[in-house]
Amino acid sequence: MFRKRPPPEEERRLRANDREYNEKFQYASNCIMTSKYNIITFLPVNLFEQFQEVANTYFLFLLILQLIPQISSLSWFTTIVPLVLVLSITAVKDATDDYFRHKSDNQVNNRQSQVLIGGILQKEKWMNVRVGDIIKLENNQFVAADLLLLSSSEPHSLCYIETAELDGETNMKVRQSLSVTSELGDPNNLAQFDGEVVCEPPNNKLDRFCGTLYWKDCKYPLSNQNMLLRGCVLRNTESCYGLVIFAGPDTKLMQNSGRTKFKRTSIDRLMNTLVLWIFGFLVCMGVILAIGNAVWEKEVGALFQSFLPWDPPVDNFLFSAFLSFWSYVIILNTVVPISLYVSVEVIRLGHSYFINWDRRMFCSRSNTAAEARTTTLNEELGQVEYIFSDKTGTLTQNIMTFNKCSINGRAYGEVMDILGAQKKRVQPLDFSAWNPLADRDFCFYDQSLLEAVMVGEPAVHEFFRVLSLCHTVMSEEKKEGVLVYKAQSPDEGALVTAARNFGFVFRSRTPGTVTTQELGKAVTYTLLAILDFNNIRKRMSVIVRNPAGRIRLYCKGADTVLFERLHSCSHELMNITSDHLNEYAADGLRTLAVAYRDLSEEQWEAWAERFNGADKATDCRDDRLSAAYEEIEQDMMLLGATAVEDKLQDGVPETIAVLSLANIKVWVLTGDKQETAVNIGYSCKMLTDDMTEIFIVNGHTVQSVREELRKSRERMLESARTRDGGKEVEAQGWGGACAFGNGCGAGGASNWVSNESKCSPPQAPPSSFLESISGEFALIISGHSLAHALEADMEREFLETACACRAVICCRVTPLQKALVVELVKRHKKAVTLAIGDGANDVSMIKTAHIGVGISGQEGIQAVLASDYSFSQFRFLQRLLLVHGRWSYLRMCRFLCYFFYKNFAFTMVHFWFGFFCGFSAQTVYDQYFITLYNIVYTSLPVLAMGLFDQDVPEQRSLEYPKLYEPGQLNLLFNKREFFICIAQGIYTSVVLFFIPYGVLSHATQSNGVPLADYQTFAVTTATALVIVVSVQIALDTGYWTAINHFFIWGSLGTYFTILFAMHSSILFNIFPKQFHFLGSAHNTLGQPVVWLTIALATVICIAPVLAFRFLKLDLKPQLSDTVRYTQLVLQKKQKPCGRVGRGVGGAGVASGSALGRLGRGGSRRSGYAFAHQEGFGELITSGKNMRMSSLALASFASRHSSNWIDTLRRKKHANSTGMQNTPPTGEDSAASSQAPPLSTSSSPAGKAGQACYEYVLTHSPDDIALSVIRSPEREVGEYSTGTVQEAPFVWKGTGARINGASSPGPPPIAEETSSGE
């Protein structure tokens, strides 16, 4: 940190292959250092940092005070021992953290890369790479620094990168080098390259780069398209060369990994406030005692001077009082115990470990356990009110499975439950038997569809033909017969894979052809046109010519658009299909309708001409193109419909149901389209059919958004009025207080809620009223509306409306908007927010929310890195919150209550004693007792409680989500509770002082020696204190594990052991001054009077607590008390634990049965979301992304441009005509692909018997199991399909799924067993 920092760069200037030149600028090397200390700097820097903490400085200050003899009322070690302990614990923790950072730095810095030095490729460590070096990257390597792509092995110097680590997006991105540099193919040429780059200084913008390359007296502009950023992985590219522009800390990756903002929990903030109050209290007590001292010294002390003259600097009572103030500050400092902060940290750390250790949050599929990445937020997990969830990858697996289809009016895929409950035993169809190209991970259960294919039903064949032709998927066949599809969106992949398994295998494509294997026979279609997808069209078509020369248009698209374009003779079929579609939509499936149209040669030619005209047009090209598309996509014949399941992560609907029962509101913020988002909303049961109304805010202007919001509020009110009928008077109560917090908390429990609620602007509707009618509304708002809604003057309105709805879905939102929404709720609701996501687009929201959760186990780790907690399944969230969070909160609250109590009980005794000892700051206890009280005698039992306490078993907190509520309402530890603790502490201190005082001041031992000496009093009080606080912790401990027993009894034992040791003659003989309590323990504790005193004090301290607790339990039992009680009763009755009361399962069954298939709106269908981007059609027809034969390549070699996609647009026409002219390259590919023996023998289904047998033989079960283990994705497929069939999908509502409805019990949070083994 003391390194000389060069002034900030204005611009970056570098020359390739010229280290000397570049060294002038002193650019950062590629060595990264995230660690904070090294061995030498550790101690000073760490201590410096630690003393920046207020608490530590405070104790240092106390220590200095104690060194002044006139003030020192305690020995120096009473402060220094705890302080050193605290500092060293923290230091050890910091050191370990830093050690791991050093390790990971080293690992990264020592990665190998190939650097071109002196024209030769040399292996170099990453850290030795310099700016201006040219390095070579190979496939699947991490990019070492921010590089300017110079050339690559691929055509057109394209190269593919995966930016998962950078921004979380798993799809591949294309980068292209400048044409001038792309010609420098080999190392020799590159070594000669001496271009100079002038570019922007290092920054953290991932999607922007601007610079200029000067080479050979020419200027070339550089953009982000030419850059490979550190953290990316090279894919599908053999190798490439890049020029290092930014290295090490200057790279965009490192610039982005700013230190995360330190998050504090609300308990933390409360604690800090309370500590400040306690300081105030301390000062007050100091002042009172100092005044007392002044009075005493004036009245008595002055007269007592013959026995005890004032200390030399003191010459009057006022100065004495001043000193006494500081002396008392020292004595009473234990009300703010230094061990508080350390203990809190320890407890949180323990809770974090429990999260890390939880097997039920371990995902065996991705082999990831849950991880608490922050150890400071645990108790806040028990207070969450709002969850903001990403969709893709979080709620869904981003895996699409072809689930059902309707072909020619017949529905397939719905397995009839002839076998009733045994349905789950139905095996997925074995396609490999007759189709060697089948994807083994594909699961389908309906035998009848396979039969239909085999029988050769033309409609079925045509259906799958569409699926195998009409798409933009690329295939790769590295090994014969092993096809890998690269779909741009998973929906498409699912459809093409389905076709593949049913015998219509998409094999390969060239810009002008599509080769398929139809039932074992290779067929090459000429691809005449791709009518690409876009958002408005909601469909895509291809026009192909089959080998027989017939031209056909195949179309798939949203049913709403497709049905309008059908031939009239399809109407009957359309109605049946429509019914099927409704069914599919009800199941939350994404549906597409599939159709075809036969085109005559004339029709095609006529259209092609118009199309070319439109394509070449310079103005309104897009409009004209779509008009042209529109023209040909008419009079289509309906084939059927597909239903693709956007596979939800396991247990998502159950989790959401449980969370909403726990009063947690789940908002989905997604970048997806509205349809997709709504669809998912339905499938994860956030939206249901029995919702009163779903408001969709989709306006583009401020006015319209405002209007829509207003209308929805009015509608809510209206429906409430009609529902409540006579209660309209209440409804008129607009403008009243608006209660924040959750609606269900409205009731007696919401004191806090209503207190906070006086601040709503006048125009705001009474959301207390709105919230009282919540539960039937949902709000769906799109990104552009959100932009308006989030503006300062409307955000309030938006928030009111949104919070009155049970479900809120924001679609098409940008990452920034996600953060803004979170921020909005955080700011206005005073509620704890949690954001959960998996991708880089969620990072901002994860960082903004109080708690950020990252879904791990996916490829991108950006979200995980930014998160506070990470695990691999959304459903673990309920465990994280309802079990761990709830416990953490409970434990932390109990811990804090007890901690403040015990320290007040301990310290305030000094205060009372002050009135008897002339306010001279004499302590009541032995100094060792003061030193050890907090760190030895009382720390471990409360720590054990803070770590292990459980009020109800974990399964109960999942069964009764309402148990979560106290945390949200902040009931367990707040200012009121704090004052109760303090009052209890003070009461205890009064008892602990005055009872021994009353007894001992007159008592004598049985041998006549008075007991009123100071040491006896000290020992009696101390012992009574330790016993009382031990009894109290025993009362507070609700869950006595062996550890609790050990700590509580152990602490008592330790106390007596240390007491006797300290008062032993051995220690006295060595240090007579330090251990002058010699014999006190023995003399005091041998007296029955003393024990009677201690017993009396304990009874007086504890009995009221017991009485109050019992009364509270009896009169106002909390839900947790009830659950606990019920459990106790059940245990007594020796019955197996049945569920009593309203469990989730019960509620689920009820709502499940209530869910019919009625009133399904069409809005939910047509999840035409299979293409996320348009433009891929053009990429295909241009052939740019294909490895082509040299012949084909030649035709493209002439066209270069820096912006290739623009070129594509412009040259579209030329391309497509070119396509027609090029001879079909299908023959090439067919020739090149030597048919595998299996594939030739297995064409028709019937003849495949032999092949099938062989296949099974070669793949022994072990083999399959292994492969399952090896590829997580594959297992996901299998497993999740299984889940659909087996999981108790109580909410699914489809009558056919009997097993779901018939399986009662709590949601399946069953411990993950090793399904892979």
Residues with active-site annotation: 390
User: CB of residue 368 vs other proteins: minimum separation in angstroms?
Assistant: 7
336 closest CA partner among 34, 62, 678: 62
The DSSP bridge partners found for residue 412 are: 405
663 closest CA partner among 746, 762, 558, 542: 746
**Residue 972 near residue 889 (C-beta atoms within 8 A):** yes
Binding mask 1041-1070 for other proteins (x = CB under 8 A): xxxx--------------------x--xx-
838 carries a ligand binding annotation: yes
Structure tokens at 1216: 């497509």
Among 657, 864, 932, 1078, binds other proteins (CB under 8 A): 1078
Structure tokens at 872: 């691999």
Find the part of the chain contacting other proteins (CB under 8 A) among 181-189, 445-453, 873-881, 1107-1115: 1107-1115
Give dist(CA 377, CA 337) in Å, integer: 21
740-769 b/e (C-beta count within 10 Å ≥ 16 → b):
bbbbbbeeebbebbbebbeebeeebbbbbb
Q: Which 325-354 residues touch other proteins, going by CB under 8 A? A: 327, 353-354
- Is 569 a binding residue for other proteins by CB under 8 A? The answer is no
Among 233, 474, 969, 1018, binds other proteins (CB under 8 A): 1018
User: CB of residue 233 vs other proteins: minimum separation in angstroms?
Assistant: 21
- Is 1106 a binding residue for other proteins by CB under 8 A? The answer is yes
* Closer by beta carbon to other proteins, 106 or else 1004: 1004
- Is 540 a binding residue for other proteins by CB under 8 A? The answer is no
- Is 357 a binding residue for other proteins by CB under 8 A? The answer is yes
- Is 564 a binding residue for other proteins by CB under 8 A? The answer is no
Q: Which 852-891 residues touch other proteins, going by CB under 8 A? A: 887
- Is 998 a binding residue for other proteins by CB under 8 A? The answer is yes
Structure tokens at 226: 């030419």
492 carries a ligand binding annotation: yes
User: CB of residue 777 vs other proteins: minimum separation in angstroms?
Assistant: 24
Phi, psi of 1217 (to 5 degrees): -70, -35
* Closer by beta carbon to other proteins, 921 or else 982: 921
> 69: Cβ–Cβ under 8 A, 6 or more apart, which residues?
none
Dihedral of the alpha carbons of 594, 599, 605, 609, in degrees to the nearest 10: -30
Structure tokens at 688: 């249901």
DSSP string for 20-70: HHHHTTT---S--------HHHHHHHHHHHHTTSHHHHHHHHHHHHHTSTT
**Residue 197 near residue 14 (C-beta atoms within 8 A):** yes
**Residue 848 near residue 1279 (C-beta atoms within 8 A):** no
Among 356, 814, 1202, 1241, binds other proteins (CB under 8 A): 356
User: CB of residue 944 vs other proteins: minimum separation in angstroms?
Assistant: 11
* Closer by beta carbon to other proteins, 929 or else 948: 948
Among 456, 761, 1010, 1304, binds other proteins (CB under 8 A): 1010
Structure tokens at 753: 């809620």
136 carries a ligand binding annotation: no
- Is 1154 a binding residue for other proteins by CB under 8 A? The answer is no
Q: Which stretches does DSSP call E strand in 536-589?
A: 539-545, 551-557
Give dist(CA 890, CA 950) in Å, integer: 8
842 carries a ligand binding annotation: yes
Q: Which 777-836 residues touch other proteins, going by CB under 8 A? A: none
* Closer by beta carbon to other proteins, 584 or else 925: 925
- Is 772 a binding residue for other proteins by CB under 8 A? The answer is no
User: CB of residue 382 vs other proteins: minimum separation in angstroms?
Assistant: 15
- Is 1013 a binding residue for other proteins by CB under 8 A? The answer is yes
392 carries a ligand binding annotation: yes
Residues binding other proteins: what is the number (CB under 8 A)?
Answer: 107
Give dist(CA 666, CA 874) in Å, integer: 12
> 272: Cβ–Cβ under 8 A, 6 or more apart, which residues?
none
User: CB of residue 1286 vs other proteins: minimum separation in angstroms?
Assistant: 21
User: CB of residue 308 vs other proteins: minimum separation in angstroms?
Assistant: 5
423 carries a ligand binding annotation: no
372 closest CA partner among 860, 876, 958: 876
818 carries a ligand binding annotation: yes
* Closer by beta carbon to other proteins, 763 or else 1069: 1069
Give dist(CA 1317, CA 738) in Å, integer: 55
172-176, strands of its sheet edge to edge:
172-176, 158-162, 233-235
- Is 1109 a binding residue for other proteins by CB under 8 A? The answer is yes
1207 carries a ligand binding annotation: no
Q: Which 65-124 residues touch other proteins, going by CB under 8 A? A: 73
- CA 317 remoteness from chain centre: 63
* Closer by beta carbon to other proteins, 741 or else 918: 918
Give dist(CA 1072, CA 216) in Å, integer: 90
User: CB of residue 1105 vs other proteins: minimum separation in angstroms?
Assistant: 10
The CB density around residue 470, as the number of other CB atoms within 10 Å, is: 28
Q: Which 912-941 residues touch other proteins, going by CB under 8 A? A: 916-918, 920-923
* Closer by beta carbon to other proteins, 1141 or else 1161: 1141
639 closest CA partner among 711, 700, 721, 552: 552
* Closer by beta carbon to other proteins, 330 or else 625: 330
Identity of the amino acid at 700: H
- Is 1093 a binding residue for other proteins by CB under 8 A? The answer is yes
Q: Which 176-235 residues touch other proteins, going by CB under 8 A? A: none
Helix, strand, or coil (residue 903): helix
User: CB of residue 514 vs other proteins: minimum separation in angstroms?
Assistant: 38
- Is 1017 a binding residue for other proteins by CB under 8 A? The answer is yes
Among 37, 209, 325, 362, binds other proteins (CB under 8 A): 362
* Closer by beta carbon to other proteins, 516 or else 750: 750
Structure tokens at 1051: 């602490």
The CB density around residue 349, as the number of other CB atoms within 10 Å, is: 16
Find the part of the chain contacting other proteins (CB under 8 A) among 159-167, 356-364, 448-456, 686-694: 356-364
Phi, psi of 384 (to 5 degrees): -65, 135
Give dist(CA 1212, CA 669) in Å, integer: 37
* Closer by beta carbon to other proteins, 293 or else 432: 293
Find the part of the chain contacting other proteins (CB under 8 A) among 267-275, 333-341, 602-610, 1092-1100: 1092-1100
- Is 1124 a binding residue for other proteins by CB under 8 A? The answer is yes
Q: Which 943-982 residues touch other proteins, going by CB under 8 A? A: 948, 950, 954
Q: Which 1216-1245 residues touch other proteins, going by CB under 8 A? A: none
354 carries a ligand binding annotation: no
Find the part of the chain contacting other proteins (CB under 8 A) among 387-395, 572-580, 791-799, 1099-1107: 1099-1107
Give dist(CA 661, CA 654) in Å, integer: 10
For 362, counting Cβ atoms within 10 Å of its Cβ (0-12 exposed, 13-18 middle, 19+ buried), the class is buried
Alpha carbon of 1026 to those of 892, 1011, 1055: distances in Å? 22, 20, 8
* Closer by beta carbon to other proteins, 356 or else 1220: 356
Structure tokens at 470: 């009409």
Q: Which 292-321 residues touch other proteins, going by CB under 8 A? A: 300, 303-304, 306-309, 311
Give dist(CA 132, CA 20) in Å, integer: 10
- Is 1122 a binding residue for other proteins by CB under 8 A? The answer is yes
336 closest CA partner among 380, 285, 378, 288: 285
Q: What is the CA radius of gyration of the chain?
A: 37
- Is 1114 a binding residue for other proteins by CB under 8 A? The answer is yes
Binding-site residue positions for ATP: 390-392, 492, 533, 556, 590, 670-672, 812, 818, 841-842
Binding residues, by number, are 390-392, 492, 533, 556, 590, 670-672, 812, 818, 838, 841-842
Binding-site residue ranges for Mg(2+):
390, 392, 838, 842
